[in-house]
Chain A
């Protein structure tokens, strides 16, 4: 790698971003120094092991990445808004759709979901933290470093440009000699460590740390989906780890796992990628289903319809999700038997998913529905997601898929699945659990603007893609001629994208407005909700529960309220054992980032030298004998009295 290519140059758009990034970073450093907040940031946030703060950092990172991925999306829709448009060139367009995909799936959807899981799941099961708090911090920081490493690619060294799927041989050294795809392989690898650790952490937390009396079949639905998603993470992410390691060896060290000439097989990459990639879809969508279940039950003021079938269908979806990966490459030239088998398994997924849809509808039936913002997103989810699901069954048919494969029809389909399935859920979850995180509600009126702009923009952006896709437009086309007749559709889609962006802006404004003006006097249970997280203060005390509740049935907090069991007694409070903060996770992750950066540039010697930092981090952690500290019962009692009023 020649140093003269270190910074990406020559494109005014990128030059503008470089200047903007530089100024923002200088501005942030100056601002933090001016406000004397460095020590506070380090002690309260960077070294924290509190699951709620880690969750909030995940959510902030996810929203930032949402912005970045969204700008990519706007650039694409602007480029295709008219025939023969000259806003982006082919190379730039390739980079933009690649980073859009990677950022949205791995650095937007994943952290937003894992963030909300982090905040909510331990509270729902009556735990005081996750099972391994320091590992949890490590998960966040490896994710964050991976995401940042991926994001610097567009100003330093050049972005990956072979699609978020990075198909071989295109993404190999021969056809993509630039370092862009090294960023893909290394950054995803670093972020993947964090995700895998999160999965293990959540499984152990749920299996071992539930409040007394909370049997598995009494867990809230969101906790159930978290458990099943975590199992899927542990099952699927190692496959990505292996595939990325092979890709790195191919690209950086000259191995040939994926080159035919040397006895490798490029199709092996597709196979491994989708062995991870398909379960990944369910990893992001299952917690979202859990959020909708909580929100719909709360705002219909009924318990969830068909709890047991809900659990069964989640497990069924998870089981099937490992058996369908070939439907992403029916056209590879598989035998008829392969395509038929995977066609059938794919269509079978529609059954448990359908069960869930009907369960949500029956939960609402005869309920006293309250149209809060969280509920609006859940209501909009059902028809939008169903469109995505039904077109998914169309795509599942291998023979028909030869027509749809890699067209805009597919693009429309997966946006109709992932946006209602994940983004709507995250919005619903944010509006619903915001008081638990920050102690105030988001404004409902600005929220309505957010909702309607986003819903209208979403449908306007992606509905036209079904039609131009059937009309033959393939995905990832950066230009087209007027004679295709796609111009008006794509213009409509571009207009929709900007309305979508306005919806996102309304959310950001809502956060700002509510932070400044919203009432802080909302109590612990502003929605009259059903599950244990609402038995805590808003925002939640650092120790979560002064007294760990005893669980006797589903929707325990609802039962407690009905039976008047929400009060606590002074004599039940004991000293609470808490984990200490640690600087090791952030420093260790930064070391990974430095080594990763050198690997991206193929500076092997430097990478080897700085690997010492990683090993030092492991050793430092092995000798870290900190057993945490205790919050005295007296102090807990004081805190409880403050938010509960008179006890």
Chain B
């Protein structure tokens, strides 16, 4: 039999994720900040949420497969940069800029 214990990490992570998401929605919809400030706040919340998920759900701090974890993180960061920076580049240059 496996040892059963209350999945505290998961519950806390789940609640934190919900709170951070609602916070982002509130900042976007209910506040009067300038839109670039909103972007910065939402972006910061997103980074926090990513950390919550990595630590609480993906067990990044546990286990021995350090090398695989590093490859994973590097590749994920690379993809995030490609997707976000690429999209901004594509959608804001060209005819959209004129």
Contacts and interface: CB of A to CB of B under 8 A. Distances in A.
Contact of B90 (A271, A323, A625, A627): A271
B90 A334 contact: yes
Of A239, A271, A272, most B-chain CB atoms within 10 Å:
A271
Contact of B91 (A267, A322, A337): A267
A333 B4 contact: no
A207 B91 CA distance: 38
A268 B87 CA distance: 8
Interface in A609-647: 625, 627
B94 A334 contact: yes
Interface string A312-348: 0000000000110010000011110110000000000
B90 A322 contact: no
Interface in A523-560: none
A235 interface: yes
A235 B94 contact: no
A250 interface: no
B31 to A, nearest CB: 16
Nearest to B35: A263
B97 interface: yes
A239 B86 CA distance: 14
B94 A322 contact: no
Interface in A258-287: 265, 267-268, 271-272, 275
Contacts of B95: 332-334
Contact of A275 (B75, B87, B94, B97): B87
B83 interface: yes
A113 B75 CA distance: 25
B91 A275 contact: no
B2 A332 contact: no
B68 A334 contact: no
B1 interface: yes
Interface residues of B, number: 18
Contacts of B87: 268, 271-272, 275
Contacts of B33: none
Contacts of A272: 87
Contacts of B90: 271, 326, 334, 338
Contact of B83 (A275, A326, A337, A338): A275
Given A207-B68, A625-B4, A335 B94 contact: yes
B12 interface: no
A268 B91 contact: yes
Contacts of B1: 627
Contact of B93 (A235, A271, A335): A335
A362 to B, nearest CB: 30
A289 B82 CA distance: 26
A277 B2 CA distance: 41
B96 interface: yes
Interface in A234-271: 235, 239, 265, 267-268, 271
Contact of A333 (B68, B75, B89, B94): B94
Contact of B96 (A207, A267, A275, A625): A267
Interface string B1-34: 1101000000000000000000000000000000
A335 B97 contact: yes
Contacts of A334: 90, 93-95
Nearest to A236: B79
Nearest to B93: A335
B93 A627 contact: no
B96 A235 contact: no
Contacts of B93: 334-335, 337-338
A235 B83 CA distance: 10
A265 B4 CA distance: 49
A278 to B, nearest CB: 12
Given A275-B83, A627-B2, A338 B96 contact: no
Interface in A339-380: none
A239 B83 contact: yes
Contacts of A271: 87, 90-91
Interface in B55-98: 68, 75, 79, 82-83, 86-87, 89-91, 93-97
A338 B89 CA distance: 8
Nearest to A268: B91
A-B pairs, 9 with minimum CB distance: A333-B95, A335-B93, A334-B94, A335-B94, A333-B94, A271-B87, A338-B90, A235-B79, A267-B91
Given A267-B96, A271-B87, A334-B94, 15 more contacts: A207-B68, A235-B75, A235-B79, A268-B91, A271-B91, A275-B86, A322-B82, A323-B82, A326-B90, A333-B94, A335-B93, A335-B94, A338-B89, A338-B93, A627-B1
Interface of A: 207, 235, 239, 265, 267-268, 271-272, 275, 322-323, 326, 332-335, 337-338, 625, 627
30 contacts: A207-B68, A235-B75, A239-B83, A267-B91, A267-B96, A268-B87, A271-B87, A271-B90, A271-B91, A272-B87, A275-B83, A275-B86, A275-B87, A322-B79, A322-B82, A332-B94, A333-B94, A333-B96, A334-B90, A334-B93, A334-B94, A334-B95, A335-B93, A337-B93, A338-B89, A338-B90, A338-B93, A338-B94, A625-B4, A627-B1
